[in-house]
Amino acid sequence: MLIKAGFDVSFSFPGATPMLLQLHVHPEREGDLLAPENIVLTPSVPYETYTDLFGNRCTRLVAPEGKLTLSNLFTIRDSGIQDTWPWGAQQAPVNELPHEVIVFLLGSRYCDTDLLATQAWALFGKLDGGWPRVQAILEYTHKRITFGYKDARADRTASQAHGEQVGVCRDYAHLAITLCRCMNIPARYCTGYLGDIGVPPDGAAMDFSAWFEVYLDGRWHTVDARHNRPRIGRILMARGRDATDAAISTAFGANTLEKFTVITDEIPGG
């Protein structure tokens, strides 16, 4: 299938402000684009790109005083196949995990494993390791948090989401990632596009989405605690330890978000 996706985002700044952006399709999906991405900046300002430690394509620029608009529109080819859950997959003992995976067992900015470890072992310690344990964590997180855009908060940690029982997709991801890490299952945060493809429209304005990946049977598998069901048409933008590493935009100074529009639609007959 073909998917049309993109964004139109505007910020205002009281003065020149450095920014770090992760608004590109992840390099592993660039081969699926029908044409190279073309992010448009208005006004036009110079920028540079680089690849970070997690393989994400990042953009650096200095936003001018006043309003800055960033927009992008692209078409990407997708398999149209639902996520494949790893039924029966096993987790490896910690001492047998690859070196590069260990970082995804550790606590991070939003994934405060030290505050949830005791509860995690009480909840999931008697379950079989691997996929049965991951599936139980997905079910628990899905039921524990009530979704609501009005409850979005940029500084909410996993333990706070667990206590407050409200949040948005990033909170579901952070809590489930944290519980997995507490149970010695490597887990990493993902952000990108996920449209209402193959499911009834939920009626809310489109936004970027957050999900996560778990490391079982020697490879990474996509899972999603918010929806808790296989989905079609994920377009990965960035990965990392948590939302800090995969932030869509980071401004090193005062700013105001003026406009935020995201689209992700299947092209009929594509």
pLDDT for 204 equals 80
Q: What count of other Cβ atoms lies within 10 Å of the Cβ of residue 150?
A: 6
Architecture of domain 2-80+248-266: Sandwich (2.60)
pLDDT digits (tens, 9 = 90+) for 93-126: 999 999 999 999 999 999 999 999 999 999 999 9
Among positive and negative, which fits the CA dihedral 244, 174, 187, 111? positive
User: Which pLDDT score is estimated for 201?
Assistant: 84
Please check whether residue 177 is in contact with residue 189, taking contact to mean a CB–CB distance below 8 angstroms. Answer: yes
Q: How far, in Å, CA of 46 to CA of 35, rounded?
A: 22
Q: Does domain 94-240 have CATH number 3.30.565.10?
A: no
Query: Do 180 and 140 contact (CB within 8 A), yes or no?
Result: no
Q: CATH 3.10.620.30: which residues of the chain? A: 94-240
Which pair of tokens denotes residue 31? 């081969």
202 to each of 128, 198, 216, 230, how far by Cα in Å? 35, 12, 31, 16
> Which ranges of 37-130 would DSSP assign to H, the alpha helix?
113-124
**What dihedral do alpha carbons 156, 145, 223, 186 form, nearest 10°?**
50
Residue 76: Cβ within 10 Å count: 24
Which residue reads 């079982």 in tokens? Answer: 216
**Which residues are CB-neighbours of 251 under 8 A, at least 6 positions away?**
11, 13, 17, 18, 19, 63
pLDDT at 87: 94
**Closest to 264 in 3D by CA, of 172, 212, 198, 171:** 198
Structure tokens at 196: 């209402």
pLDDT tens readout for residues 121-169: 999 999 999 999 999 999 999 999 999 989 999 999 999 999 999 999 9
For position 141, what pLDDT does the model report? 98
- Which value, in Å, is the radius of gyration of the alpha carbons in the chain? 19
For 191-247, write each residue's pLDDT tens digit: 999 999 999 888 788 899 999 999 999 999 999 999 999 999 999 999 999 999 999
Give the residue among 183, 173, 188, 88 at the shortest CA–CA distance from 132.
88
Kindly state the DSSP code that residue 147 receives in the 8-state scheme: E
- For the segment 25-35, the average pLDDT, to the nearest whole number, is 96
Q: Is the pLDDT of residue 270 over 80?
A: no
- Residue 4: CB atoms within 10 Å: 16
User: What is the rounded distance in angstroms from the CA atom of residue 1 to the CA atom of residue 241?
Assistant: 31
Query: Where are the CATH 2.60.40.2250 domain residues in the chain?
Result: 2-80+248-266
Q: Which two tokens stand for residue 254?
A: 């005062």
- pLDDT for 205: 80
Please say whether the beta carbons of 32 and 77 come within 8 A.
yes
